[in-house]
Amino acid sequence: MQFREKGRKLQCIRSEYLPERKRTVGRIVASQDKYLTTVSEEVCRQLEKEEVDSLKKYLSSREEKRTVDKLGFRLSYLDSMLNEAVQALEVDSLRDGLSNEQAERIWAAHERLSKALRRHGFKKPKAAPRPKVVRDEEQPGLPLSDD
C-alpha cells in the first residue's frame, strides 16, 4: 500500500500485478481528506485489514513528524518571544493587566525551562566580568590636567 497526498486528498494506492502486461500497476482504491488524523469509516470498508493498519501507521508517523516540526519551530524562536515578553512588561498598561496567577504561571514555566536546559546539558552562561573602575587615587603617577 502506498499513500500520496494530492491536493486536499490522501490517496491510498494498491499495487496490482498484471501478468498479461508483465507489469505492476498502482490503482487508487480509496481516498480521504488529507487533514484527517484518523482513518474514516468509508476508507476502512474499502481497504483490507493490513492496509488499514498501514494507513494508521502512516497517519500517526505523519502527525508525530508535524508535532516535532512545530516544536522545533517554537524552540527556534523562543529567545525572541522572551525578549518581546520583557518589552511587554516595560509597558505600564500591560504590566498592570498581568494578574498574580499569570505571573506565577510565567515563573513556573521559567523554572521548568531552566531545569530542562540543565538536564539536557545546556549550562547557564556565566556573566561577563564587569570592568574594574579605576579611581584617580589608585593611579598617582598620571597627570589629571594639562597644566
Question: What is the predicted pLDDT for the residue at 136?
Answer: 58
pLDDT digits (tens, 9 = 90+) for 43-65: 999 999 999 999 999 999 999 99
Among 23-32, 68-77, 124-133, the least confident range: 124-133
pTM of the model: 0.67
Q: Please state, in angstroms and rounded to a whole number, the distance separating the CA atoms of residues 5 and 59.
A: 11
Cα 126 to chain centroid distance, Å, stands at 27
- Which of the four pLDDT bands, split at 50, 70 and 90, describes residue 124? confident
